[in-house]
């Protein structure tokens, strides 16, 4: 099954980083957040990716073009210029890199990948959020209900510490707990090919035009995820993910 990753947005809320690189290339632990997302899918056996590129997409192309030699050992014969890879071990990924337009909306980017995806179900997520979602369980849930689409519902972490009060005393303090007031779309979706019938052109917004319509028609189901989930919208989010990685508390790292 192919996994589509939306990796073409401008990332304007993270302008400190995205002025020089696309948002999915912002690094956590010395690797792009996009790599972390792909490692998560690969750990569940999903190794074919369709990357929907847009803003500064050439940097993502260059990253994967250089991936094999840069993350392995090389022998270079300076007299001839020949280069040989020495015992390189890389991820077993097949990566389709598709330009989907600078101004295309999320649904439009998916539509532009239709020929690559083919007439089969596919995974889809964003290239700027990490989680420890059970992707195998997600797919099993999707197949069990027979609807066109499944989204992963998450409770995002609060920006503030949580208090449990007993009178005027603080009985419990929790640093940035998961909020319990509502569920949001956390990405990590599964779609049947029939979803393409709901996308008209580049201006189609996946979330507003497609998911809202599917929900009204009873064709959208939610897979609840109570575990770790964190988007990377601001520099504060980047710093949080980096600190979790450095401290060995990166709950999204489910691979060895």
pTM, rounded to two decimals:
0.89
Q: What pLDDT does 23 receive?
A: 94
What pLDDT score does 72 carry? Answer: 77
Q: Which domain holds residue 175?
A: 2-246
Confidence of residue 168 (pLDDT cuts 50, 70, 90): low
251 inside domain: no
The answer to whether 72 touches 88, Cβ cutoff 8 Å, is yes
Beta-strand (E) ranges in the chain?
Answer: 2-7, 27-28, 31-32, 48-53, 73-77, 82-86, 94-99, 122-126, 129-131, 149-154, 162-166, 169-174, 184-185, 189-191, 220-225, 229-231
pLDDT number for residue 181 = 55
Say which DSSP state 159 is in.
Answer: S
Angstrom distance (rounded) from CA 48 to CA 60: 16
The predicted model gives 4-12 an average pLDDT of: 90
Q: Is residue 167 part of a domain?
A: yes
Q: Is residue 252 part of a domain?
A: no
Q: What is the torsion angle, in degrees rounded to the nearest 10, for the CA atoms of residue 227, residue 230, residue 125 and residue 58?
A: -150
Q: Contact at 8 Å (CB) between 135 and 123? A: yes
163, pLDDT greater than 60: no
Q: Is residue 10's pLDDT more than 60? A: yes
Report how many domains make up the chain: 1
Segment 150-171 shows an average pLDDT of 73
Confidence of residue 100 (pLDDT cuts 50, 70, 90): very high
Lowest-confidence pick of 15-24, 138-147, 148-157, 179-188: 179-188
Q: Please tell me the predicted confidence (pLDDT) of residue 42.
A: 98
Whether residue 145 lies inside any domain: the answer is: yes
**pLDDT score for 71:** 81
Q: What is the β-pairing status of strands 122-126 and 2-7?
A: parallel
pLDDT at residue 89, as a whole number: 79
| DSSP assigned state of 156 | P
Average of per-residue pLDDT across 19-23: 89
Judged against a pLDDT cut of 80, whether residue 74 lies above it is answered with yes
> For the chain, what percent of residues have pLDDT higher than 70?
91
- Average pLDDT estimate for 151-167: 74
Mean local confidence (pLDDT), 180-203: 91
| Residue of 114, 99, 128, 103 lying closest to 38 (CA atoms) | 128
Q: What is the 3-state secondary structure (H, E, C) of 201-255?
A: CCCCCHHHHHHHHHHHCCCEEEEEECCCEEECCCHHHHHHHHHHHHCCCCCCCCC
Average pLDDT over residues 57-80: 90
Q: Is 155 contained in some domain? A: yes
- How much is the mean pLDDT over the chain? 91
Residue 74 lies in a domain: yes
Q: If we measure between CA atoms, which residue out of 188, 211, 210 comes closest to residue 199?
A: 210
CATH of the domain at 63: 3.90.550.10
Please give the pLDDT value at position 155: 85
**What is the pLDDT confidence band of residue 139, given thresholds at 50, 70 and 90?**
very high
Tell me the backbone φ, ψ of residue 215, rounded to 5 degrees. Answer: -65, -45
Q: What is the average pLDDT across 127-133?
A: 96
Residue 255 lies in a domain: no
The pLDDT score that the predictor gives to residue 256 is 85
Tell me if 256 is assigned to some domain. Answer: no
């Amino acid at each position: 099954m192919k996994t589509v990753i939306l990796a073409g947005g401008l990332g304007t809320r993270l302008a400190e980083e995205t002025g020089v690189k696309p948002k999915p290339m912002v690094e956590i632990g010395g690797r792009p957040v996009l790599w972390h997302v792909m490692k998560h899918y690969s750990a569940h056996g999903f190794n074919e990716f369709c990357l929907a590129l847009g803003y500064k997409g050439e940097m993502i192309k260059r990253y994967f073009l250089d991936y094999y030699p840069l993350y392995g050992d090389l022998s270079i014969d300076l007299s001839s210029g020949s280069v040989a890879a020495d015992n390189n071990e890389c991820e077993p990924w097949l990566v389709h890199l598709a330009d989907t337009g600078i101004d295309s909306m999320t649904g439009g980017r998916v539509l532009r990948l239709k020929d690559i995806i083919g007439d089969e179900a596919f995974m889809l997520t964003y290239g700027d959020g990490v989680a420890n979602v059970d992707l195998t369980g997600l797919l099993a849930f999707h197949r069990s209900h027979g609807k066109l689409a499944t989204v992963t519902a998450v409770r995002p972490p609060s920006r503030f510490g949580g208090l449990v009060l007993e009178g005027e005393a603080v009985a419990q303090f929790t640093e940035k707990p998961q909020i319990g007031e509502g569920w949001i779309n956390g990405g990590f979706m599964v779609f049947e090919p029939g979803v393409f019938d709901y996308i008209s052109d580049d201006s189609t917004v996946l979330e507003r035009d497609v998911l809202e319509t599917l929900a009204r028609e009873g064709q959208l189901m939610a897979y609840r995820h109570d575990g770790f989930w964190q988007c990377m919208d601001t520099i504060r989010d980047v710093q949080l993910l980096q600190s979790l990685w450095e401290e060995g508390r990166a709950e999204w790292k489910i691979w060895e």
